[in-house]
Structure 1
Amino acid sequence: RAHLEAAGHVCVLKDAFDFESPSEIANLILAENCEAALALHLYRGGRLLQGHRIPFGIIFGGTDVNEDANQGEKNTVMGRVLEEARFAVAFTESMKEMAQAQWPQAKGKIYVQSQGIATTPNAAFNWNTFLRRSEINQSADNLHIFLLICGLRQVKDPLYLVDAFSEWHQEEPSVYLVIAGPEVDPVFTREVKAKVRRAAGVRLIGEMPQEDLHAVVKNCFAVVNSSVSEGMSAAILEAMDLEVPVLARNIPGNAAVVKHEVTGLLFSNPQEFVHLAKRLLSDPALEKEIVVNGREYVRMYHSWQVERDTYQQLIRKLEGSTED
């Protein structure tokens, strides 16, 4: 929204989950006098925009290409959405290739633009207050907080590391895993809460304002990603930008941005995660190298300004005729 408003557009930002049918979108378009639309996630957002006679573009989310494309009915719906869309944006070349393989009719309208990153930690954030809120009653000087940032839903697999980490915490009481994020799936959230309550050294906190979350990232020892699939993890990129080490599950979306032992560490199972986390704790030189390389990678390939320029140019495709 900031990118588009900077180009003089007026933007109405809505959550796709707030709408149950395209007719509700039709009412919104009429009420706000919308002239164009941009949908995040080909299925969740895109399907709501069909047939409204306003031009629209799509930004792939990750689960649409990685997960939803494997479900026949959703795949068909998404193919129709792409036929109507003026353009689509993939975060990586591999995501673009996957989308083109699924929907060959979209060739020629899929662009690649990596997520741009601009972090803004809250300078007034109090780390000790955060630790008390997280029920971690130890001196901050001796703590090593591993932060897992994710919405509580199955594709993010927040419980993947809980058992292994809990065992490690019992050996080394200074290490904690803190899971931070919104409660997206109510049923799964109850399962996560029940598991975390029984797990030593694992804490669960809710959604936080972005500036506060960036401050938490800046103060933690490492950021963790344990997702089953990812499009492009903003949390990973933000950690790199804030000069914090990253440990990520070895899946295509993560491996596209994390080069093992260069910009972060990739693990394939919980035991390997613990092994790599211990190695990172005991090897300051490795930590420093990963941090320096990660920051440089973000500066080179995830420019916030380049992202702004790209979306401002793409939106022009929605302003002219279909042939533009």
Structure 2
Amino acid sequence: MAEDDGSTGGTNPYQQETNQNTRTDWLADQKPVDVDPDGLVDYGKNMVTIQENLQGHSGRLSQLGQLPQSAWDGNALPEGTYIRGQLTLNYGEFQQYLTYLGVALTNIGMAAQTVADAYANTDGWSAASLDAVRFAFGDTDAPRPAGLPPFVSGKTWWDQYFETVSSGQTSTAPTPEQFVDQGKPQVAPDGSITYTALGPGGVVRTMVQRPLPGGTGTVTVTTTADATGKVLDSSTTRTSTIVTGNSTVVTTTTTDAEGRRTGGSRETTSYAADGGRTVTSEQLDATEQPTSKKVDEHHADGTRTVTTTDGRGTVTQELHVGQDTEGVDPSELTDSPTKQALDEIKRHDYGI
């Protein structure tokens, strides 16, 4: 049932929130936007810079999804399993938000570039109209600007998407980076979780994660299908956790659609009596032989030693990290391209 906004004589229980979300006083100190084509090009570049910065830092949030799994792995209490599921769902929603935020930043930047292209060869804004902005944002009712170069087709991302879906011209699975999560993961009564993501051309990737009996691990089946339902790729990943003494071993094995082993990994975490710990990560081939190995030693004094070797045991990298310090004074930090881009957008410094 919709809440009454008060216009019909009823009471809006969220009137304070409504007022806060619809207030316009924050516009009072804003500088009017008055830009030239060159300024729009710079604006578009700044939006892309912000999007690239967002994408480059999103990996740092991966622990938000990893820590709940590690904290309540194995034979956890029902309450712990519930919390793990909720935190995992929250992380999935947050990742989806960041994905769409990045898409929005890119689209706004591209729209600015399109408007700039439309008037780049004219005498400034003498022929400017709102139709150019509407066309840049994919409004199908907006006429094509007369000055828009021929190489700008005007086809939107959704136009291309639906054309590809209709033609079924997809034969290979996209890379993981090309997929966008679709909605909240679905949790079944048996504890399995289904994740669905959409890729270019209507390709759909479905991941179904099921817990192993006894809570010792999970089995994840990943299936990628094209717009017609034809399966392009399928694999199964089995992850198990074994605790022995002061060590925890997490082993992952991946098999293809025919059940053939294709690879895997093994991570061993050992805890020392002095408070230190060592994390050994190995990448395994189809015969379970290590192809690479990384040993990350966290010493009790706060220092770290990270050693990476190849499949033959040859050291390829050795990193020594000292104790934590107070860090660098903010005044000594180098300028951030993203901060500069944001500052320019706030100033509306685009050729006024």
TM-score, structure 1 normalization: 0.25
TM-score, structure 2 normalization: 0.23
User: Which has the larger Rg?
Assistant: 2
Higher helix share: 1
- Which protein, 1 or 2, shows the higher relative CO under an 8 Å CA cutoff with sep ≥ 6? 1
